[in-house]
Amino acid sequence: MSRLSEIQERIDKKIANVVVFGMGYIGLPTALFYAEKGLNVTGLDTNADLVSDLKNGITHMEEEGLDSLASQNLPRIRLITSYEEIEKADVCVLCLPSPIDKEKKPVLRFLENSIAELGRRLKKGCLVLIESTVPVGTTERLATLFAEESRLKLGNDFWFAHCPERVLPGKVVAELETNHRLAGGVTSQSTKLATAFLSSVFNAELVHPTSARVSEAAKLAENSYRDVNVAFANELARICAELGIDVTEVIQLANLHPRVDILRPGIGVGGYCLPKDGWLLVQSIKDGTFVPRLITAARSVNDEMPAYVFSRVQELDLEALSLKPIVGLLGLSFKPNVSDTRNSPSVQLVHILLAAGMEVIVFDPYVERDYGAKRAESLDELLDACEVVILGVGHDMLVRDLVEKDLSQKVFIDPNNSMPDLKNRVKKYIGLSI
Ligand SMILES: NC(=O)c1ccc[n+]([C@@H]2O[C@H](COP(=O)([O-])OP(=O)(O)OC[C@H]3O[C@@H](n4cnc5c(N)ncnc54)[C@H](O)[C@@H]3O)[C@@H](O)[C@H]2O)c1
């Protein structure tokens, strides 16, 4: 039996040894999901503290449905920290970081180091899947690196594909099951094998075979598209502010047009993916003659939003309004109802307020860190301490509790238009444009 038939059979019979690399936001739910579908799963993360916590059943993610998925499936996963223990792997799934540096250039060393380690250890007949979001062409380069390190032959001894993760933070567990999947091989046999593997755990109708380069580009296009759309809404908000009209009303009325669907403007775009993926797409072109402009402009528009919200605070003359010189900021995560603060515009606003010498008190029911500000232990403590309140993130829990409070003496800044009904219940309501 050829090596290809062997691994194909192990995948079909669900007896393949699957190793998921990186037990973070994507890798952990992925490993749990595979375990639930009956695969033999090993989870490898180089962060020993994280692995030790997982062995004790402790996860560090606030995700709907994750606790129950973890309580049933964590005990079924072999958790390790060392590449020494992966020789028996048939399928390797890499869910490793792919950030950008200060110059907005892709940082691929996590993937490169991992592939070099794998190349030194894996046996003949393995399938490597890159789930990380990467610049176009990266999977092909990683396959070449793997071949050099392992001295194995692509298409004969190993197969290699890009299978991006497209889940939405907050809905990761549900979307793992329902999202469409791409199987982008670096060769047609790699595509077939990746398709077979994904179809063994996901609904086969949701698995789309393609090439590695198209898969990489499609993933980057999705996130860049969303980023550009939010930037349009944010630019509209800034225009409306200059014109003294309410951007929310403008968007509401514009969206009555059957072919218009403008997204919501707000405090900015955060999270792990959207702020970097446009750059990964743009940086995929190295020596081309075309210089992309729209995606990079959108990045600047969205990046400027926390500073713009700060300018709205500055417009308030606290002394003239006889207000305490302390600002309360509610919500620190990058979006509602999650604990993830990576690239959070709200946290950026905390830094801007502090740098301007303002006293800042923060509260987020999902986030324990204070980011250099004073941290209130409760919503009441924050409301007692300040008269200027910014709702940086409208967690459902916060909105529900705020409705019950007496806010009549507060200046309420609501950049995401989370609580427009407060307009007549507060001393002064400040939205994004008016
Ligand atoms: N977070 C999201 O919502 C999301 C959504 C879709 C796609 N993605 C993409 O998925 C990839 C992973 O993102 P994430 O949010 O899970 O990152 P993460 O930082 O939460 O997790 C990465 C994990 O990899 C571990 N790690 C680093 N180097 C390692 C190595 N050499 N070997 C083994 N483990 C190593 C880290 O300790 C960490 O636990 C990224 O490319 C990201 O762009 C993320």
Q: Is 176 in the pocket of ligand 1 (CB under 6 A)?
A: no
User: End-to-end distance of the chain based on CA atoms, in angstroms?
Assistant: 71
Q: Tell me the pTM.
A: 0.96
CB atoms inside a 10 Å sphere around CB 136:
21
Q: Is 59 in the pocket of ligand 1 (CB under 6 A)?
A: no
Report the nearest atom of ligand 1 relative to the CA of 272. 1
pLDDT in tens, 324-342: 889 999 999 999 999 999 9
Q: Is 279 in the pocket of ligand 1 (CB under 6 A)?
A: no
Distance 107 CA to ligand 1 centre (A): 12
- The Cα 92–Cα 223 span in angstroms is 25
Report the nearest atom of ligand 1 relative to the CA of 113. 31
Report the nearest atom of ligand 1 relative to the CA of 28. 16
Best of 82, 163, 165 for a ligand 1 pocket test (most atoms within 8 Å of beta carbon): 165
pLDDT in tens, 353-407: 999 999 999 999 999 999 999 999 999 999 999 999 999 999 999 999 999 999 9
317 band by pLDDT with thresholds 50, 70 and 90:
confident
CA 21 vs CA 84, 94, 131: distances in Å? 13, 5, 10
Share of the chain above pLDDT 90, in %: 94
In order of their start, the domains of the chain are 3-209 (3.40.50.720), 305-430 (3.40.50.720)
Active-site annotation holds for 428: no
Distance 210 CA to ligand 1 centre (A): 23
